[in-house]
Amino acid sequence: MNAYRIEQLDCILRYHDLPGADPAFVFLHGLGSASSSYFPRAIAHPRLRGRRAVFVDLIGFGYSDAPIDFDYAMETQASIVVDLLASLAISNCTLVGHSMGGSVATLAAAADPTRIGRLVIAEGNLDPGPGAVSGPVTSMTEEAYIASGHARFVEQIRAAGFLDYAGTLQASHPIALHRSAVSLIASRSPTYREHLACLTMPRTYVYGDRNLPTPDVDRLTADGVLIRVLTGSGHDMMVDNPDGFAEIVAEAAETAA
């Protein structure tokens, strides 16, 4: 695993950088998840094999450090991703973000579109407001979540049968999870949706078929975003159908700019 030192925070962001042909694929995980856990099966697919792949564990999650004085704002995480890409001399990459990672990817693409050739958002947050994970987390104060809420939430996820997610959730720092959730669902201007609409690189938005129908399909299509639906999957689509997810990512990477 590779380490990227963030001097101003005195902490380490960790990532896998699998060698292969450029342009690279760069993967960003969702709230409470870890790219090092969720994406490797997809990159093993024949359509993606042989390409450079970077799996980023955002600050506070997976194997990365979790400084307690960090704000965990989506904009700050996006800035760190942009700095990492620059440090790795990555350009024209296909940036793939799942859920919260989709929101971070959108902000990163808006901040530095020159490094990102194509954007793939897998059910990323588009508008303010709580979701299935961020809602329960932000229903508690940060203090209450740290004291007992995090451990209780992990047990609830495990009891519901989401064992992969329970593992990465347990590895997430409670402060990181709560502050990230608060930032993720906060009102902002422009919104993630507005940023996504204004970007000019090819953009693909992926839905699991279990989460349809939604009026967002028509709204995103009107904004020039390509919609793809992954069969046999819910929100954690790269776990439910990794081969299908890989196919969609590969097709998005081949989309003409």
Instruction: Could you list the beta-strand ranges (E) of the chain.
Output: 2-6, 11-18, 21-28, 51-57, 93-98, 116-122, 203-208, 226-230
pLDDT of residue 257: 72
Average pLDDT on 121-148 reads 97
> So where are the chain's domains?
2-128+186-253
Q: Is 194 helix (H, G, I), strand (E, B) or coil?
A: helix
CA–CA separation, 46 and 178 (whole Å): 37
Q: Which long-range contacts (CB under 8 A, 24 or more apart) does 2-8 make?
A: 4/84, 4/87, 6/59, 6/80, 6/83
pLDDT of residue 255: 85
CA–CA separation, 44 and 36 (whole Å): 13
Per the confidence metrics, is the pTM higher than 0.95? yes
DSSP 8-class letter at 19? -
Does the structure show a pLDDT above 90 at 182?
A: yes
**Tens-digit pLDDT profile for residues 11-64:** 999 999 999 999 999 999 999 999 999 999 888 999 999 999 999 999 999 999
Which range, of 40-49, 109-118, 172-181, 241-250, averages the lowest pLDDT?
Answer: 40-49
Give the DSSP H or E segment for 183: helix 174-185
pLDDT of residue 157: 96
Average pLDDT on 189-211 reads 98
CA–CA separation, 60 and 14 (whole Å): 10
Strand partners, 207: 229
CA–CA separation, 12 and 44 (whole Å): 27
Q: Token digits for 241?
A: 């159908």
Average pLDDT on 163-176 reads 95
Q: How many Cα atoms sit within 13 Å of 224 on the Cβ side? A: 12
For residue 73, the one-letter residue type is A
Q: Token digits for 74?
A: 């989506």
pLDDT of residue 200: 96
pLDDT of residue 256: 73
**Tens-digit pLDDT profile for residues 225-248:** 999 999 999 999 999 999 999 999
CATH value of 2-128+186-253 in 3.40.50.620, 3.90.1150.10, 1.10.287.610, 3.40.50.1820 = 3.40.50.1820
Chain-centroid distance, C-alpha 155: 23
Which among 253, 251, 246, 254 has a CA at the least distance from the CA of 40? 246
